[in-house]
Structure 1
Amino acid sequence: MEADARRHDTRGIVDPSGLLNRVRFRRHEPAAPMRRYVEWYWLIDWDLPEPYASHVVPHPAVNLTFQWDGADEAGAEPYAEVTGVALGLYTRKLTGRGRVCGVKFRPGGFRPYAPGAPVSRWTGVALPAQEVFPQATGEVAHAIVTPADDRARVAALDTFLLSLPCTPDPQADLATTLVQHIRTDRTVRRVGDFAQTRGLSVRALQRLFSTYVGVSPKWVVLRYRIHEALNQAATHTDINWAALAADLGYADQAHLIRDFTRTVGVPPATYAQGVH
């Protein structure tokens, strides 16, 4: 039940109903050997009569995507990208027809596949996947993107990831565990207190997150607060913002409004009114 709930979780998507009314969006589990490192494969297809800009408040995760976009699938060249953790709002303009087959690595899960550099090297960066994975050729992208059904696309993603060198790292597993703790436990509010409960110094925790997650622990705490505020705004019509701010660990409502507005671009009440 928990896995199924996460499969349909829209946290981070700005105006989820607006996006889901325009695209086909699915999530699938990877093959068992990759589940330690990969949270989901995510698949999107669209065929739009007019352009649409999708907006996402990204998770602290690196994504590998294989995609094509254009009016004619036969004439479009599939390509692959690696996208590091985006610090601000991520916007993607969708036009015509297109398709994305994405790999969402767990926080900490990308590093075993690319151990040569700290994950913070990719933060805020989108680059051709071949710069990280030389194996991600156009031929591979074509094999992943072009199958007509989800099962074949998922199988192609499994085949590609299983072909990559992967170096298991206990520190990567620790980073994944710590981020998941922050994600699910609203009582985690201060980095110093969290580090102490885990037997780490604040400096050691910050180094771990920089190397394996790509962003600071404080950033992760704040990002999951915004995700929850977005979710509440999209699913409830009568929100006590002061109570929500306190529940999320903000000193007051003004701090929530400031963080939300800086991240999403509009105040939370304005956003909630718009999505409803």
Structure 2
Amino acid sequence: MAAPRRDTRGIVDAAELLARVRFRRREPAPPLRPYLEHYWLIDWDLDRPYASHVVPHPSVNLVFQQFEDQDPFAEISGIGLGVFTQTLTGRGRVCGVQFRPGGFRPFAPGHPVSEWTGRRVRLPGTDPAPVLSPTDENARVAALDAHLLALGPRPAPQADQAMALTDRIRTDRTIRRVADLARTEAVSVRHLQRLFAAYVGVGPKWVILRYRIHEALERAETSTALDWSALAADLGYADQAHLVRDFKATVGVPPTAYASR
């Protein structure tokens, strides 16, 4: 596994978020790296409320949270199907674990990952204090390592396959349809659908679309004069109208309106 990625894919108005909170990504212990994207740590101290928005990755997250005037808690956050919004006020802290797509099932082998999709489930038997209490960031990372290592992930060939396939979707521009992926892997579309439901939590078509929107969102953040027609072709859309439709359905506004603001 490479070092934690530095892109802002999925974060709506990333510049505003980074101006309001302290956001970092950290690498997990070596035995956990096959299953995890990274840890993500956020601390804030705000004089007025701020609403953050994220277009979720096809990943399950384990999140330890401390909000002002609330008891700390831990929860499993399944793959979010729409934009995730969280309003931050006062002072607070979040320590999160982003699993690789397909990487959560070895920690919870008894159920298909699709059972978590669209849900946020509190973990009342999990004490969040060891993760949230330390002032030292390295101690928080060590506590996350200890918590996950104690769960003892169970290696599973199908989970490995799901992780490899979603990595390919993310990096291989030639994969534009589920049929493309099925053909290159010499499996049926139905096989991919069953595998993704059990080990990723959403279908392969959804993953392809979500990674397209992530790239479009990041390009809108970083480009001052973006050629949306060219980007649509680059992402495998039949035309610009299809990109606009998917972008608006996911983010809530057309891409040109998002870029202009």
Which category of TM-score, normalised to the shorter sequence, fits these structures? over 0.9
1:215 is matched with which residue?
202
Residues 74-113 of structure 1 aligned to structure 2 (within 5 Å): 76-113=70-107
- Give the Cα–Cα distance (whole angstroms) in 2 for the partners of residues 193 and 225 of structure 1: 15
1:66 is matched with which residue?
64
- Give the Cα–Cα distance (whole angstroms) in 1 for the partners of residues 215 and 91 of structure 2: 31
2:154 is matched with which residue?
167
- Give the Cα–Cα distance (whole angstroms) in 2 for the partners of residues 129 and 25 of structure 1: 24
> Which stretch shows the higher mean deviation, 174-183 or 159-168?
159-168
Displacement after TM superposition at 1:64 (Å):
0.2
How does the TM-score come out when normalised to structure 1? 0.92
2:114 is matched with which residue?
120
- Give the 4+ runs in structure 1 shifted more than 3 A: none
- Give the Cα–Cα distance (whole angstroms) in 2 for the partners of residues 161 and 255 of structure 1: 41
Q: Say whether 1:264 aligns with 2:258.
A: no
Q: What SS is found at the alignment partner of 1:21?
A: helix
How many residue pairs end up in the alignment?
Answer: 261
Q: What SS is found at the alignment partner of 1:46?
A: strand
Displacement after TM superposition at 1:166 (Å):
2.0
From 186, 189, 192, the equivalent of 1:205 is 192
Q: What per-residue deviation string (whole Å, max 9, x for no partner) do you get for residues 174-214 of structure 1?
A: 00000000001111101112111111100000000000000
Unaligned runs of 5+ residues in structure 1 are: none
Unaligned runs of 5+ residues in structure 2 are: none
- Give the Cα–Cα distance (whole angstroms) in 1 for the partners of residues 9 and 68 of structure 2: 28
1:145 is matched with which residue?
132
- Give the Cα–Cα distance (whole angstroms) in 1 for the partners of residues 193 and 8 of structure 2: 28
RMSD over aligned Cα, in angstroms?
1.2
- Give the Cα–Cα distance (whole angstroms) in 1 for the partners of residues 180 and 173 of structure 2: 13
Instruction: Kindly provide the amino acid, as one letter, of the partner of residue 263 in structure 1.
Output: T
User: Percent of aligned pairs with the same residue?
Assistant: 64
- Give the Cα–Cα distance (whole angstroms) in 1 for the partners of residues 30 and 87 of structure 2: 33
Displacement after TM superposition at 1:9 (Å):
1.1
